[in-house]
Amino acid sequence: MKNLQPKRTSPPPTQHPDVEALKSRIRELEILKTAVEAADVGIFYLDLRTNTSTISGAWRRLMGVEDTEISDFQAEWRKRVHPDDLSRLETALEEHLAGHTNRVSIDYRLRPFNSEEWRWFRTDASCTEWDAGGVALNLVGTQWEISKRKRMELALKQSEEDLRSLVDNTPIGSALVALDGVCIRSNKALQRYLGYSANEFAKLNFKTLIHWEDLPVHNDNVALLLNGHAASFEMERRYIRKDGSVVWGHVCCVLARDADGKPQHYVVQIIDITAQRRLEEMKRDFINLASHEIRTPVTTVTGALDLAHMLYAKGTDTKLAELLQIAKRGSDRLRSILDDLLDFDRVSASTMALTIVRCDITQVIQHAIARSAKILEERSAEISLTQSDEIIEWHCDPNMLQKVLMSLLSNAAKYSPKAGKILIDASLDAKNLTIRVRDYGIGIPVEFHEHAFEPFWHRDPSDARAHQSIGFGLSVSRHVIRQMGGELSIEPVEGPGTELQITLPQV
């Protein structure tokens, strides 16, 4: 009986590990090749020992030589680089090959074989092999077209240069100011305005240039910006020039923030109003001096005429009584003009002191009507007063509100027909007191509503002569109401006439 041994079988042959790694590497290279071709990036390999080049299909397409036989790709490439860029490009390559730089990264213009226009390309290249003496043996790199991006960059650069030129050459002083007050950038107009050079401005804290009396208001406005309670502010304030002189400027300041809302810096624009302010000061001084110098003789004449009128108005000499009446009207008119001039001067200079108290509004209106009795009687005007509440009390300056109402009643009587109606309505809600004065006279067209508040304004120059008005009334009245925190406006109405509306908010 035979001794049977189990038959030994050999294991199946296996692939050598190096073969598997090679296949994996080939697959990776195929994927990489596909990705590079899809990205339209040209790849080149330059053997510096033989001065021969190996290029990819994408490089051929970019150069426009897909179907062209070229023996020396390097020479063809150099020939098509823009002359103004070639020396810069060759210098960059030489610096790298000499070991002075780690790589070559450079933008340049090139004209492909099949094109007449210059296009922008970018090349990134580096050496990967050196001999024992440190001499570069090759150069491997990529090349791709960046014309679209470059056009955008050049357009952006030109736009920035245009904007910088506009800011630098505008007659309005402009500056970028850091949050700590350091001047980041200033234009020529601001440098001329304050007498500092650009380098001197860069070393200054902008707050040190503001007149000390204006600093508290400036600090309050800046706090509003930083707290997010305001996006910008405007004001007129004084600055100290390098030579120590004081100048006036109309300032607009905006706080620039980043995308997350974090404050970055201030954008400041300043218009030089020094000459304007000096002219206004001279005008106020003249008006003040003239008004006071004229007031004394006018008061004397008016007092004498009042006395003469009392003595002779009922005398037998009717001609004398008539002349005295004419003279008295003229002196009253002159005194009224002087009062208007002084009021306008005080209001425009914001020097008119207000006394805000809680008062009976109905009483204020009735006093205004009583003190306007003369003009109302002359025009035979019919006054009607309505109010939302039996008793209306509100915070205001009663004397100044009374003067405003007298001015509105005078205008309503003058510009209404004889025996015309004048309506006064006072209403109250939780937030505002509203007083309306309505007449049924010639009215003011809507397009002139804002112009009517300008000093000396008349719709027709003949109005000034016909109604003996110099055009201060509405301007002064609006200033007064605004100083009390309210507003005076002309409201649209149906039919003839004008409606003036006073709105005073709750204090």
Question: In terms of C-beta density within 10 A (0-12 exposed, 13-18 middle, 19 or more buried), how is residue 434 classed?
Answer: middle
270-288 mean pLDDT: 84
Mean pLDDT, residues 88-101 taken together: 91
Give every CB contact of residue 433 below 8 A, 6+ residues apart in sequence.
361, 392, 394, 396, 426, 427, 502, 503, 504
| Confidence check: pLDDT of 343 > 90 | no
pLDDT tens-digit series, residues 316-333 = 577 777 777 788 777 777
Residue 238: pLDDT band (50, 70, 90) is: very high
pLDDT value, residue 465: 44
Q: What is the pLDDT of residue 211?
A: 94
Distance CA 17, CA 111 (A): 48
Residue 2 has pLDDT above 60, yes or no: no
CATH number of 170-272: 3.30.450.20
Query: Residue 147: what residue type?
Result: S
Tokens 């209306």 belong to which residue? 392
Supply the DSSP string of 458-489, one letter for each residue. Answer: -SSHHHHHHTT--S-HHHHHHHHHHHTT-EEE
pLDDT digits (tens, 9 = 90+) for 146-191: 999 888 888 888 887 777 776 777 889 998 899 999 988 889 999 9
pLDDT value at position 3?
A: 45
Give domain 17-149's CATH number out of 3.40.190.10, 2.60.40.1180, 3.30.470.10, 3.30.450.20: 3.30.450.20
Q: Is the pLDDT of residue 291 over 60?
A: yes
Global pTM? 0.49
283 pLDDT band, cuts 50/70/90, is: confident
Residue 167's alpha-carbon distances to 134, 154, 161, 185, 233, in angstroms, are: 53, 20, 10, 11, 20
Kindly tell me if the per-residue pLDDT of 487 is higher than 60: yes
Spatial CB neighbours of 448, under 8 Å, sequence gap ≥ 6: 459
Q: Is the pLDDT of residue 5 over 70?
A: no
- Give, in degrees to the nearest 5, the angle at Cα 214 between 208 and 220: 95
What CATH class is the domain 357-505? alpha beta
Strand 421-428, strand 382-387: pairing: parallel
Question: What are the residue ranges spanned by the domains of the chain?
Answer: 17-149, 170-272, 277-348, 357-505
SS3 track for 410-448: HHHHHCCCCCCEEEEEEEECCCEEEEEEEECCCCCCHHH
Under the banding of pLDDT at 50, 70 and 90, the label for residue 350 is: low
In this predicted structure, the answer to whether residue 82 has a pLDDT above a threshold of 70 is yes
Same fold, 170-272 and 277-348: no
In this structure, CATH architecture of domain 277-348: Orthogonal Bundle (1.10)
Does residue 336 or residue 430 have the better pLDDT? 430
pLDDT of amino acid 384: 93
pLDDT greater than 80 at residue 295? no
CA end-to-end distance (rounded Å), the chain:
129
For the cut 70, the answer to whether the pLDDT of residue 445 exceeds it is yes
pLDDT at 88: 93
Give whichever of 46-50, 284-288, 453-457 has the largest mean pLDDT: 46-50
> Region 260-266: what's the mean pLDDT?
91
Quote the CA–CA distance of 88 and 26 in Å, as a whole number. 38
Q: Phi/psi at 39 (nearest 5 deg)?
A: -75, -10
